[in-house]
């Protein structure tokens, strides 16, 4: 069998499984989810042995410590994975919801009902826990999943998917509801992207290169999770105490995630005070500041020149070394690190225009006590989530109260921002008549 035949066979099997799944009750699906969690724990030896194999190969290939750490499973992590699966059983099932119903003047009753999408392709990179996270959310919403993970975690993924699939079968659900492509060949991605007869949509989870490849080749809808180039704008009417805590949280609490900020825009009227408070706190937290001319001048005057002011002298020259001039690309870069681009603006409109031109329309925030300025910002900034006086770190399915998330969509169609269970569904119209014909 060629690779194409093999993957098409997966498509056919997933399609058949989806047909069964969409008729399952919430109770049947939840029983399947609990059985999946049980089977993960029961397969501990096999999964950890497979993972040891992946780790050995990764070490031989010289993967970094951070990568090895992401790849590694142990009994505690596997238990957490099984717990994560089990928790999804307790979430409300969006499938079957009647979104709207109405009756037409001719007596035709129309019902818009929430239903599963069908077959969802998930293409991801290294972390093996994506295998169970993605599969369980798809199963909860009555979708079959075809998974294609990265080569680093292939043995772990195969063992995890086999356990999940056994759980489905044990609970009377189709074993083909969760299929993992055991081939990490790049061609597998291209074949998946071409089979729109079997796959209703693809969700790529990983770096920009992976997403680009999928966008390039996919014939079916793709839900993209691109960069978060997020900005905070410090308005002239900002509370500077709040500014410091919001910016430190949004930059430093977890710099490697998409809802961390990469840019701060400071109104020129508060630049001096900003430098003395938030600027200082950022440097103390070891954040590299890439500054436009004006902010560099003010920050440098505060920190790099020894002066009589005791406040200024509390920062060491080590901190001062964190200051450098910004290049234009710094305002369009997702650093995912303790690096922050700073730019001075003279108006609210200039801040909005900067975000429009440079941001990735993910999460952006205005810090101000001026309600009019806030309304203007909230209306004009065309991002998935727009904040007033809160950390952008809340762009997250869990923090939104969705219970779980498959990711943060940077697309505008179908799903925008945090994607919960509801975004893994579609709808269909049911029309009930008694012989109506069109005149």
Minimum distance of its own copies from residue 3's CB (angstroms): 22
- Closest approach of its own copies to the CB of residue 397, in Å: 12
Residue labelled with tokens 């049911």: 430
Q: C-alpha angle with apex 167: 408 to 47, nearest 5 degrees?
A: 75
Q: What is the DSSP letter of 207?
A: -
Dihedral through CA 119, CA 89, CA 362, CA 213, nearest 10? -30
Radius of gyration, alpha carbons of the chain: 25
CB of 284 to its own copies, least distance (A): 17
Smaller CB distance to its own copies: residue 114 or 302? 114
Measured from the CB atom, the residue of 236 and 394 that comes closer to its own copies is 394
Min dist CB 101 to its own copies, Å, is 12
Residue with smaller CB distance to its own copies, 130 or 374: 374
Least spacing, CB of residue 435 vs its own copies, in Å? 4
- CB nearer its own copies, residue 158 or residue 258: 258
| Residue 278 Cβ vs its own copies, minimum distance, rounded to whole Å | 13
Of 404, 401, 397, the closest CA to residue 88 belongs to 404
208 or 432: whose CB is closer to its own copies? 432
In angstroms, what is the minimal distance from the CB of 48 to its own copies? 32
Beta-carbon count within 10 A of 390 CB = 14
Helix, strand or coil for residue 364?
A: strand
Q: How many other C-beta atoms lie within 10 A of the C-beta of residue 113? A: 16
Are the beta carbons of 410 and 362 closer than 8 angstroms?
yes
Q: Which is nearer to its own copies, 132 or 363 (CB)?
A: 363
Spell out a b/e string for 283-314, using b for 16 or more CB atoms within 10 Å of the CB, else e.
Answer: bebebbbbbbebbbebbeebbbeeeeeeebee
CA separation for the pair 123, 214 (Å, rounded): 9
The conformation of residue 326, written as its DSSP 8-state character, comes to P
For the bound state, the minimum distance from the C-beta of residue 245 to its own copies, rounded and expressed in Å, comes to 6
Residue 309 or 429 with smaller CB distance to its own copies: 429
Compute the least distance from the CB of residue 387 to its own copies, in Å: 5
* Contact partners, residue 361, CB within 8 Å, separation at least 6: 382, 383, 384, 410
If the CB atoms of residues 106 and 307 are measured against its own copies, the closer one turns out to be 106
Cα separation, 395 vs 416, in Å, equals: 11
- Closest alpha carbon to 235 in 58, 102, 367, 405: 367
Residues in touch with its own copies (CB under 8 A): 19, 22-23, 102, 104, 108, 110, 115, 117-118, 196, 200-201, 215-216, 219, 221-223, 239, 242, 245-246, 249-250, 253, 356, 374, 378-380, 382-391, 393-394, 399-401, 411-414, 416-417, 426-438
Placement of tokens 């043995």 in the chain: 155
Give the residue with the Cβ less far from its own copies, 65 or 438.
438
Q: How many Å apart are CA 391 and CA 250, to the nearest integer?
A: 5
Contact 161, 179 (CB under 8 A): yes
């Amino acid at each position: 069998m060629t690779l194409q035949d093999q993957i098409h066979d997966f498509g056919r099997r997933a399609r058949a499984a989806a047909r069964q799944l969409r008729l399952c009750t919430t109770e049947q699906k939840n029983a399947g989810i609990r059985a999946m969690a049980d089977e993960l724990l029961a397969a501990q030896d096999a999964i950890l042995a497979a993972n040891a194999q992946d780790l050995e190969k990764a070490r031989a290939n010289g993967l970094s410590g951070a990568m090895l750490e992401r790849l590694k499973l142990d009994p505690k992590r596997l238990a957490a994975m099984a717990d994560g699966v089990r928790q999804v059983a307790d979430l409300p099932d969006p499938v079957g919801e009647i979104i709207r119903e109405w009756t037409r003047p001719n007596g035709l009753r129309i019902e818009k009902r929430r239903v599963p999408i069908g077959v969802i392709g998930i293409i991801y990179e290294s972390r093996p826990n994506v295998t169970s996270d993605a599969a369980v959310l798809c199963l909860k919403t009555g979708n079959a999943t075809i998974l294609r993970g990265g080569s680093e975690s292939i043995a772990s993924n195969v063992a995890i998917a086999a356990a999940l699939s056994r759980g489905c079968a044990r609970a009377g659900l189709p074993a083909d509801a969760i299929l993992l492509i055991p081939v990490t060949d790049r061609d597998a991605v291209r074949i998946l992207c071409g089979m729109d007869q079997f796959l209703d949509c693809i969700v790529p989870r990983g770096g920009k290169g992976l997403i680009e490849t999928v966008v390039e080749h996919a014939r079916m809808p793709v839900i993209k999770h691109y960069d978060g180039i997020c900005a905070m704008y410090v308005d002239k009417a900002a509370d500077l105490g709040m500014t410091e805590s919001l910016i430190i949280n949004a930059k430093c609490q977890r710099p490697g995630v998409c809802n961390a900020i990469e840019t701060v825009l400071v109104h020129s009227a508060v630049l001096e005070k900003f430098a003395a408070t938030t600027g200082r706190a950022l440097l103390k937290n070891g954040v590299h500041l890439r500054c436009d001319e004006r902010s560099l001048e003010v920050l440098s005057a505060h920190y790099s020149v020894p002066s009589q002011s005791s406040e200024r002298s509390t920062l060491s020259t080590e901190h001062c070394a964190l200051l450098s001039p910004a290049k234009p690309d710094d305002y369009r870069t997702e650093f995912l690190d303790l690096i922050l681009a700073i730019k001075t603006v003279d108006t609210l409109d200039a801040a909005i225009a900067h975000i429009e031109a440079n941001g990735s329309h993910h999460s952006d925030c205005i810090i101000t006590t001026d309600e009019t300025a806030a309304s203007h910002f909230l209306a004009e900034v065309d991002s998935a989530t727009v904040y007033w006086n809160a950390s952008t770190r809340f762009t997250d399915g869990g923090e939104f109260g969705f219970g779980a998330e498959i990711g943060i969509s940077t697309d505008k169609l179908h799903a925008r921002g945090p994607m919960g269970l509801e975004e893994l569904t579609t709808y269909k119209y049911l029309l009930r008549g008694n012989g109506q014909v069109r005149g």
